[in-house]
């Protein structure tokens, strides 16, 4: 058997208050997941359990050193995961509302999820 790519999906996530890149990255992963119904994995590739998937998660965000890598991978609902992080995304000055977060920085993260299956 060998790993074969099944799908690549892209998502965007934003933390509007406080510049939390982990929060933005989790939202980007959830956004990518929400665009996909992987019925072909079951109907065509013949897997019987979604945990048979292997998901490569690539995240681009400002301040990648602040990213809590274990936390963001919790946003992937099934399968084994591998994470790749690089600097990217976007920051912009927002509004400082202490009840919603610390600071006035809006951060945007982008995630690409590549799903592989053993065939």
Domains recognised in the chain with CATH numbers: 3-118 (3.30.1330.20)
Computed from CA positions of residues 15, 19, 23, 25, in that sequence, does the dihedral angle turn out positive or negative?
A: positive
Query: CB of 5 within 8 A of CB of 115?
Result: yes
Angstrom CA distances, 81 to 14, 26, 38, 102, 103, stand at 22, 14, 16, 30, 32
Separation of alpha carbons 111 and 105, rounded Å? 20
pLDDT by residue, tens only, the chain of 119 residues: 689 999 999 999 999 988 999 999 999 999 999 998 888 888 888 889 999 999 999 999 999 999 999 999 999 999 999 999 999 999 999 988 887 777 889 999 999 999 999 87
Q: Is the pTM of this model over 0.75?
A: yes
Residues in the chain: 119
């Amino acid at each position: 058997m060998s790993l074969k790519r099944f799908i690549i999906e892209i998502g965007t996530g934003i933390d509007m208050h406080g510049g939390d890149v982990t929060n933005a990255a989790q939202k980007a992963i959830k956004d990518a997941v929400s665009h996909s119904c992987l019925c072909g994995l079951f109907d065509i590739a013949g897997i019987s359990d979604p945990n048979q998937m292997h998901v490569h998660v690539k995240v681009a965000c400002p301040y990648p050193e602040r990213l809590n890598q274990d936390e963001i991978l919790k946003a992937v609902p099934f399968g084994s995961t591998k994470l790749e992080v690089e600097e990217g995304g976007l920051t912009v000055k927002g509004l400082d509302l202490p009840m919603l977060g610390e600071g006035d920085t809006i951060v945007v993260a982008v995630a690409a999820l590549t799903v592989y299956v053993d065939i």
